[in-house]
Every structure is written in C-alpha cells, then in structure tokens.
Amino acid sequence: MIMNKSNIWKKTKLNDICIRLSLNKLKIKQKQYLPNGLFPVIDQGQDLIGGYFNDESLLVSDEPPYIVFGDHTKIKKFIPFKFIPGADGVKVLKPKDNILAKFLYYLLFTIKIEDKGYARHFQLLEKETFLIPDDLKTQQAIVSKIEELFSELDKGIEDLKTAQQQLKTYRQSVLQFAFEGKLTNKKVKDGVLPKGWKSVNIEDIAKVGTGATPLKGNKDYYENGKIAWVTSGALNDEFVREATDYVTELALKETNLSLYPKHTLLLAMYGEGKTRGKCSELLIEASTNQAIAAISFENHDIRVKPLLKYFLLKNYNDIRMLSSGGVQPNLNLGIVKKTQLPFPPLEEQHRIVQKIESRLSVADKMEESIAQSLLQAEALRQSILKKAFSGELV
C-alpha cells in the first residue's frame, strides 16, 4: 500500500534527526592500531573494525548504537557497541529520540552524494533533504521489512560468492591436474611424471631478464619518449595492451632497459599485496622496470609459451611462497630462473593446453553469469531501499 505522505511523512534534513558527536582529541592514527586489544577502533575503511587500542579514555562517551559515516570514503557503519574513533574523516552520528538508529542507518544508503574523491562528503550529506515517517512504529515496520528482504537477498549473494570460490578451486584443480599429467594420461601415479615428461627450469626453455627505472629527474629519458615502458601494476590484467609510461631512445641506450617483443611473459617480482607473482602477457613491444621478470623466447621455441603461461598462473601462490625478504618479501631473477616445471613433449603440450582452455572457458562463462547476478542483487538492494523510503514496503 502506498502511504499518504502528506499525513505521516515529513521533509527533513540530517541535522533535524541526529546529532554529530564531538570527537575532539579522541581519534587515533592508523599507525597506532593494534592487531588485538581491549577496545575496537572504527574508521572509514571497508572492514567493520579497523583495529584495536587499549586506552579507555578514547572511547566515544555517548551510549551505543551509533552510525559512522566516512567523510572521505562515504562508508556507512552501524555500530551497536562502544568504540574508539580511528584516523581522520570519521563522523559519528547519534539519532535523536524520535528516530530509530537502524532507520537512520538504512536511510543514509538512499542519499546519493556526488563523489568528490578524497574530499569532504559530510557537508554534502548535511545539505540533502528527504522524507521520513514521523512515528517510531512506522520506522520500525520499515526497518523490519528491509531486514527481512535483505536477509533473503544476502543468502542468495552468499550462495553466489560460494559458487565463485568453488570456480576458483575448480580452475586451480584443472591446472594442477594438467601439470600432474592427469588431463592427458589415464593412469598417473601421484608424484611421478608421465612417460616422456621431464623436469626443467624456466631458464632452460626461455630467456629471463628484467628492466630498470630511468632517472625520473632526467627529462631526456622521458620527454617525447615513444618506447613503451611497463611497471608491475599493469600485470593485474591477463594481457598488457598499453604502456604505463614512455621512455626515449636515450634511456634505452644509457640504462639497463631492454626492449621485449610481443608475447613476452611478464612476472611481477615485488609487492606484498596481490601483485607479486602475477603473470601477464605483452601484446605490445615494451621495456619494463626492475620489478618485473620478462620471460621471452629469443633462441628458444616460442611454442612452449602457452604451457609456460598456464604453469605461471597455476604457480601464483607457490611462487609467492618462494619469495624471501623482510616486511615486503620479493622474488628475484634467480628464483624465477630456477623455478622448475613438469615439461611434456611438445605435441602433448598442445593437447594439454586445449583441454585447459576448454575447461576454463566453461568456468569463464559461469563466472560471468555469477558476476551479472551479483550486480542484479545489488540493484535489487537499492530498489528495496528506494521503495522502503517511498512508503511502498509497509
């Protein structure tokens, strides 16, 4: 039933329905966070709890629940417990007596604020106007209906994400079986290479090199440069189709740069996050920085490239384990060169690659369908909120 808003709904602004708590001298910096502690720290990051701290005097004094809004990130969090505000940009809202905390929390998701990057967004939020019911009973009915529908939606999303994880496991299993010989040999003993296979190092079947970063302060190395130069950040995609930057012929001549041909495989050697160990294939002629191992096939048989590429994709987690170092462990050219892989005869390599591609193409289609379903689920969530705050749910 559509409600008559002229009777029970009213136009209002944020300051009319909540107060912003003063956090003077309460906030702590992210570098002070502890992995464990007495009190949770809430900041404007994606995670509910950013870290912990042990100083009780930094707790927000008012009683929960609270709504936290990220001034830079636009993140919204419902916090039903005492906490310490973390880092800059945390705005803590407390609903007034005539407003339910959960109602305010869900209402904030309906307000569209223009993205200002790492700017202050709270001042934009304060300017918005919206309609709300003026009685707690209606607010509670709206909250209950939202959470009922969200519960069903979240279950579906959980199932979709489980299926995504199962596809990742399936992909890894396909690649694992491929390099155990089980895709092309019916009877293979675990830990034993099939007949005709051998174990080789990457340097036995390809040339392994790297690059450099020309001095940034030397404009002659970059100005009007036409030689593509790639950094490890470009390796998060399966193919490198464009340059990170361009360097000059002088840079190529005077530094440790090398120019690599199309279809060179690039392996990220640095990075604590997901980048280290990533493999990508050049679709352009390019040079690289020193954070990348470039695996080319000069004086080698390029026909082994498809199998080697799938091995590096399979070996992503394993090769990261081989890295050594301190806070940010890295790979190095020696590790890459000496990495061993099972190596079948060339004809069998072709059959293995065909079987891998056949199976992974099916997984790709399923993953695309799941991704589309997740987008639809998020659109449905927004539709639920829109109807809720238009008086169409209760």
Is residue 204 domain-resident?
yes
pLDDT of residue 329: 60
Question: Chain-centre distance of CA 370, in angstroms?
Answer: 17
pLDDT of residue 7: 56
- pTM equals 0.75
Q: What type of residue sits at position 125? A: L
pLDDT of residue 274: 78
Number of domains in the chain: 3
CATH of the domain at 281: 3.90.220.20
DSSP secondary structure string for all residues of 285-315: -BEE-TTEEEEE-TTS-GGGHHHHHHHHHHT
Residue 254 and residue 338 in one domain: yes
Q: Are strands 287-288 and 227-230 parallel, antiparallel or unpaired?
A: parallel
Residue 171 and residue 100 in one domain: no
Residue 232 and residue 170 in one domain: no
Residues with Cβ within 8 Å of residue 289, at least 6 apart in sequence: 211, 212, 213, 229, 230, 231, 232
The answer, yes or no, to whether the previous bond of 65 is cis (omega within 30 of 0) is: yes
- Domain endpoint, select from 317, 343, 369: 343
Is residue 146 domain-resident?
yes
Q: What average pLDDT values come out for the chain (394 residues) when binned by 10 residues?
A: 59 92 84 93 93 93 93 93 90 93 95 77 89 91 96 96 95 94 89 93 97 95 96 92 96 95 94 80 97 95 96 82 56 91 96 96 96 96 93 86
Residue 264 and residue 374 in one domain: no
Is residue 3 domain-resident?
no
Residue 25 and residue 117 in one domain: yes
Q: Do 291 and 244 touch, CB atoms closer than 8 A? A: no
User: Domain limits at 68?
Assistant: 8-132
Question: Whole-angstrom Cα distance, residue 282 to residue 23?
Answer: 51
Residue 18 and residue 73 in one domain: yes
- Sequence-distant contacts of 143-152: CB under 8 A, at least 24 apart: 143/100, 143/102, 143/103, 143/106, 145/388, 145/393, 145/394, 146/106, 146/384, 146/385, 146/388, 146/393, 147/102, 149/384, 149/393, 150/381, 150/384
Residues with Cβ within 8 Å of residue 257, at least 6 apart in sequence: 211, 212, 214, 227, 229, 247, 251, 287
Is residue 192 domain-resident?
no
Residue 319 and residue 374 in one domain: no
Residue 305 and residue 218 in one domain: yes
Is residue 226 domain-resident?
yes
